[in-house]
Amino acid sequence: MTVKAQQYPWMLAPARRLLQDMARLPHALLLTGPYGLGKTAFAAHMAEMLFCGHPDSAALSVCGQCQNCRLLAAGTHPDLQWVAPAEAGKAIIIDQIRALAEFLHLRPHIGLRKIVVFAPAEAMNTNAANALLKLLEEPPPDSLLMLVSSDPARLPGTVRSRCQRLTFPLPARDEALAWLRTAEGFPGGEAELLLDLAGGAPLRALELAREGFLPVRNDLLADLEALGNGKTDPVSCAARWKAHGTRRCLEWLEGGVMDLIRGSMAGSPGTRTNPDLRERLHVLQKRLDLNQLFRFLETVTGGRRLLGGPLDELLLVEDILIRWTRLARQK
C-alpha cells in the first residue's frame, strides 16, 4: 500500500504543531477525526517531512532531491511501512503485526527512524491489536507508529491510551467550500449540497461527486417511500442498495433519519444534509413516531459499525430495511 502525500489547507496548523520539535515526537500517534479529511494523506506527508534531508518547515515542503525523497517518491523507502487489510473489507491480522515487529527491531537503513502507518487502524482484529499492544508497551528505539482512524472507539482502550492523540476537526464551512470550488471546480450550489451530504468533510464530498451519488439519493428515498406504502419489499431494495455501495447508502440513511428527527422535534422540515429533498422528507416525517425514529437511528448506526466484519452486508441491509418497513407502516 502506498498513499500519496497531500497538503490540504485545513491540515496545515496541525502539521506545524506536530513538527515544532521533531526530536521530541512521541513513539505512537493516533490520528483521529471524521472520515473524509485526509488523515492518511497527512500521515504520508508527515513521513515525507520526517525523512527528508532538507525539509522546509515554514512551507511544510520537502526538497524532493535527497535520497530519502527519491525513494519515497518511488514507493520503495526501506524505513517506511504501511499496514492495511490485504483486501477491502477484511481485517488487519496478527501475522502482519508479527512481520512488523521484525521490521521495527532492525536499525533504520538510511533514515533517522523507522515509520509505520496503520490505515485504517480500526481494521485490526483482536489478536492483531493485542500483538500491537506489546510493541506500544515496549516501543523499539528510533521508531514512530501512526495509527489513522475515523472510528477510534473500535480500537481497544489499552491501544488508545498508549498513543498521543491528534484529533482533526472539520474545517470551517467557508474554507471547505472554497477548496471544493477552486481546487475541484464544483459550482457553488453543488459544492454546498455535496458538503452537506458529506457532513462537512471535503474529501468525502469529493468522493460523493466522483461516484455520482447525488442522483442515487433520489432512488434511495424512493425505496424508503415505496417500503412505507407497501409498493416494494426489503429484500429487493437491499440488493439495489448493496449495488450502490452499502457503506455509502447507510451513511446517507443515517443522515436522512437525523433529518427526520430534527424535523419531528421542530415541527417543520429540519433537514441539514438533504435540503433539496426537504418536502419529500417532510411527508415521511409526518407519518413517523419520534421515539421509534430514535431507536431506528441506533439500528442504522450500529449497522454501520458492523461493516467490514464477518456479517454478510446484504443480510445487514435487509434487516435494517425490514425494520424501516415496520416503522413506516405502523401509522
pLDDT reported for residue 57: 81
Contacts of 247 (CB under 8 A, 6+ apart): 304, 307
CB 198 within 8 A of CB 213: no
The DSSP letter of residue 124 is: B
pLDDT reported for residue 267: 61
Tell the burial category of 206 from Cβ atoms under 10 Å away from its Cβ (0-12, 13-18, 19+): buried
For the segment 158-182, what is each residue's pLDDT rounded down to a tens digit? 999 999 999 999 999 999 999 999 8
pLDDT reported for residue 188: 73
Q: Which residue has the cell 511501512?
A: 81
pLDDT reported for residue 305: 84
pLDDT reported for residue 270: 55
What domains appear along the chain, each with residue ranges and CATH number?
9-167 (3.40.50.300), 211-328 (1.20.272.10)
- The secondary element (H helix, E strand) that includes residue 30 is strand 28-32
For the segment 63-121, what is each residue's pLDDT rounded down to a tens digit? 999 999 999 999 999 999 999 998 877 889 999 999 998 899 888 999 889 999 999 99
For the segment 12-24, what is each residue's pLDDT rounded down to a tens digit? 988 888 888 776 7
Query: Average pLDDT in the 128-143 region?
Result: 92
pLDDT reported for residue 246: 93
pLDDT reported for residue 268: 57
What is this structure's pTM?
0.86
Contacts of 108 (CB under 8 A, 6+ apart): 79, 114, 142
Contacts of 282 (CB under 8 A, 6+ apart): 263, 268, 269
For the segment 262-283, what is each residue's pLDDT rounded down to a tens digit? 888 866 555 577 888 888 988 8
For the segment 22-41, what is each residue's pLDDT rounded down to a tens digit? 767 899 999 999 999 999 99
Does the pLDDT at position 331 exceed 70? no
Contacts of 169 (CB under 8 A, 6+ apart): 33
For the segment 181-240, what is each residue's pLDDT rounded down to a tens digit? 987 788 778 899 999 889 899 999 999 998 889 889 999 999 999 999 999 999 999 999
